[in-house]
A and B are shown apart, each in its own frame.
Chain A
Amino acid sequence: DAGVIQSPRHEVTEMGQEVTLRCKPISGHNSLFWYRQTMMRGLELLIYFNNNVPIDDSGMPEDRFSAKMPNASFSTLKIQPSEPRDSAVYFCASCSGGGASREQYFGPGTRLTVT
C-alpha cells in the first residue's frame, strides 16, 4: 500500500492567497483527520471525517478554514485567505474504525509557509 498521500509537500504563498491542501487516505480506511503541527501549539486536530461525513470540526481555527471529503479517496483542506500565522505542517491521517482508533496512519505532511 502507498500509505496516505498528501500534496503538495511544500507550499509557499503570500498572505491573502488561497491555499488548497490535498489528501488521499489509505484504501479501505473510513476515517480521515486533518492535523496542524507547530512548535508553539504542538499537534492539533482540525477536523475529523467518518465515512466522508464531517464529525468534529471544533478544531478548525476560524471561517477561513474549510475542509471537504467528496468521496472515500480524497479530501481537501482550504485556507482562504491565508495569513502568516497559518504557517505550519499540515498532516492528513486515516484509519479504520472511529476517530479514537488507537492507530492512525499519517501522511508525510504539507509544510505551508505564508509570507
Chain B
Amino acid sequence: GQSLEQPSEVTAVEGAIVQINCTYQTSGFYGLSWYQQHDGGAPTFLSYNALDGLEETGRFSSFLSRSDSYGYLLLQELQMKDSASYFCAVRGNTDKLIFGTGTRLQVFP
C-alpha cells in the first residue's frame, strides 16, 4: 500500500525556523510535493522535489532523500501568516497524488 506520515501539529514563534517532516511508503516514487492550506482555504502548491537535495524558494525550502523515503519542508523567518496546515503529497506508480494527513503549524508572536 501507500502511506505518508507527518506530525499532526508543530508550534513555533515568529522569526524562528521550523521543519516539517514527511516519511512515505509507496509503490514506486517520482516526486514529493508540498501544499499549504490556511483555515477555510484551499490547498496551494509550495514546492516539488524529484531528486535528492534541497530546493529553495524564498523563505521556504524543501528537502528529499529518496534512499530514506523522507523529505521535509523548512520554513525560515516565520511570520504569523505562515500559520496553516502543510501537506506532503507523493507521486508514485499510480497516476495520482497521494496526500499526507497534514501538519498544523501555529506561529505565536
User: Using a CB–CB distance below 8 Å, which chain A residues touch chain B?
Assistant: 33, 42-43, 45, 48, 55-56, 91, 93, 98-109
Contacts and interface: CB of A to CB of B under 8 A. Distances in A.
B32 to A, nearest CB: 9
Nearest to A4: B42
A49 to B, nearest CB: 11
A55 B95 CA distance: 9
Interface residues of B, number: 22
Contact of A104 (B30, B31, B45, B95): B45
B43 A106 contact: yes
Contacts of A48: 95-96
Given A98-B95, A108-B41, 14 more contacts: A33-B96, A42-B99, A45-B99, A56-B95, A93-B43, A100-B91, A100-B96, A102-B33, A103-B45, A104-B43, A104-B45, A104-B97, A106-B43, A107-B42
A99 B96 contact: yes
Nearest to A56: B96
Contacts of B71: none
A43 B99 CA distance: 7
A18 B97 CA distance: 29
Interface string B28-41: 00110100000001
B101 to A, nearest CB: 5
Contacts of A100: 30, 91-92, 94-97
Highest count of chain B CB atoms <10 Å: which of A100, A105, A108, A109: A100
